[in-house]
Amino acid sequence: MSAKAIHINVTCAIIEQDGLVLAAQRSAAMSLPLKWEFPGGKIDPGETPEECLRRELVEEMGIHVIIGKSLPTSMHHYPTFAVTLHPFVCSINSGVIVLHEHAAIVWLPPEKLHTLDWAEADVPVIGSYLAECKAGFR
Ligand SMILES: Nc1nc2c([nH]c(=O)n2[C@@H]2O[C@H](COP(=O)(O)OP(=O)(O)OP(=O)(O)O)[C@@H](O)[C@H]2O)c(=O)[nH]1
């Protein structure tokens, strides 16, 4: 199988707090270095997307999240792999954020999210989220 055939399923958390949304910057050592993303990661075999998201948020940031509404999935082909993102709107239930993998985080109002240099797969996710906000669902 060529590298281009690799397709991964990834969960990601749109974490809301006090009207702001958390964005996380990938480290220089990660794939897609220094791009911004929503925290999360690859779904392991046998795991539900929600189980994956809970595990990843503990591993990456030391927080326990409450998982809310799912947003439409986003599929994107990068040069060496394809990803399907499974986004969920979340809030922090417990824990204080400690960055174990990311270079930085920032809390932004939803309408400022587009100012960051996002991983390309995230761009439609931001669009779906903003549509929810505009429709008054959030
Ligand atoms: N967690 C997360 N990953 C994303 C997002 N958007 C996006 O394209 N991805 C890609 O999906 C993959 C997520 O897997 P991961 O977070 O478990 O990856 P990783 O850093 O361990 O990857 P690695 O295999 O490069 O070490 C990464 O290749 C990442 O670039 C996003 O919003 N959140």
Give the domains, in start order, of the chain with CATH numbers: 3-134 (3.90.79.10)
List phi, psi (to 5°) of 54: -60, -45
Give dist(CA 11, CA 5) in Å, integer: 20
First to last CA, the chain: 42
Give dist(CA 110, CA 117) in Å, integer: 15
Residue nearest to atom 15 of ligand 1 (CA): 41
DSSP helix/strand/coil, 2 = coil
Instruction: Tell me, in angstroms, the distance from the centre of ligand 1 to residue 49's CA.
Output: 14
Give dist(CA 131, CA 136) in Å, integer: 9
Instruction: From first to last of the 138 residues of the chain, give the pLDDT tens digit.
Output: 554 579 999 999 999 999 999 999 999 999 999 999 999 999 999 999 999 999 999 999 999 999 999 999 999 999 999 999 999 999 999 999 999 999 999 999 999 999 999 999 999 999 999 999 998 888
Q: What is the pLDDT of residue 73?
A: 98
Q: What is the pLDDT of residue 3?
A: 46
CB 39 within 8 A of CB 57: yes
Q: What is the pLDDT of residue 2?
A: 53
Instruction: Tell me, in angstroms, the distance from the centre of ligand 1 to residue 30's CA.
Output: 8
Q: How open is the CA angle 18-33-48, to the nearest 5 degrees?
A: 60
Q: What is the pLDDT of residue 25?
A: 98
